[in-house]
Amino acid sequence: MRIALVQQHATHDRPDNLQRGLDSLARAADSGAELVCYAELAFEPFYPQRPADKNPQDLAQQIPGPVTEAFSRRAADLGVVVVLNLYERDGDRCFDTSPVIDADGTLLGCARMVHITDYPCFHEKGYYAPGDTGAPVFNTKLGKLGVAICYDRHYPEYMRALALAGAELVVVPQAGAVDEWPDGLYEAELQVAAFQNGYFTALCNRVGAEECLTFAGASFVCAPDGRVLARAPQGTDHILLADIDLTQVAESHARKLFLRDRRSELYAEWLSRG
């Protein structure tokens, strides 16, 4: 199947951000994409660049809501699966959330970012509550899809949990800045995750200069053998297309060997020491 990663800049003009996202969905589908994914907070500024004020929840939106409903309608019209990322409000709590929409427009559910960080220009603890959805895997028309939102990708436990739940492809909506990490580390991390867990990984990054960060773009897709299959350019809006074959999952080293030979009876004790 063909997947598309939409890396686009975002401004304070939220309606324009959303319209450009919908336009990209149509262009991706016209190019044969069956799955279209977006970066972290793709349709709004990256709010955690500054510490939260007294009412950050005023910036958040409900799910389902106008954005998910717009994409559900378009997904059904085009027959594509869509993975979004939004700043979600649920009562008095807010989350960094990825809704997953099936090809018939059904909102299958949401993954909420579990691990929340805080350091200069990433003041996320003031905005997001820790996710309470676990590590869900969604049965889409195309296959079994997991989501690891940005910071969650750094946790091997989370990435392994998606494999144990049967994920064939893990999408990573990210807000990664220029020079945030050494060259190649984003790719290497997800190459290893793909190889160790026997699934495809697809990282979709923000792009563009904002208040105190310049987001890098450079989205990419990795195969279950760890190879990078496709890369987007740095520093520019782009729709990255990649063809993947989910039958490779069952033939991967991880699915034939690594998961088979796990010693899960030992791990709880080891992890409890931390």
What is the per-residue pLDDT across 175-222, written as a single tens digit (0 to 9) for each? Answer: 999 988 787 788 999 999 999 999 999 999 999 999 999 999 999 999
Check residue 261 and report its DSSP letter: T
pLDDT digits (tens, 9 = 90+) for 38-71: 999 999 999 999 999 888 999 999 999 999 999 9
Q: What is the pLDDT of residue 274?
A: 62
Helix H, strand E, coil C: the string for 74-125 is HHHHHCCEEECCEEEEECCEEEEEEEEECCCCCEEEEEECCCCCCECCECHH
Note the pLDDT of residue 267: 83
Q: What is the CATH number of the domain that holds 21?
A: 3.60.110.10
What's the rounded Cα separation, in Å, for the pair 15 and 46?
15
Q: Count of domains in the chain?
A: 1
C-alpha to C-alpha distance for 236 and 246, rounded to whole angstroms: 29
For residue 231, the enclosing domain spans: 2-272
Q: Is 22 helix (H, G, I), strand (E, B) or coil?
A: helix
Q: What share of the chain has pLDDT > 90, as a percent?
A: 92
Take residue 85 and report the two structure tokens written for it: 């990322």
Peptide bond before 48: cis, by omega within 30 degrees of 0? no
Mean pLDDT of 130-159: 98
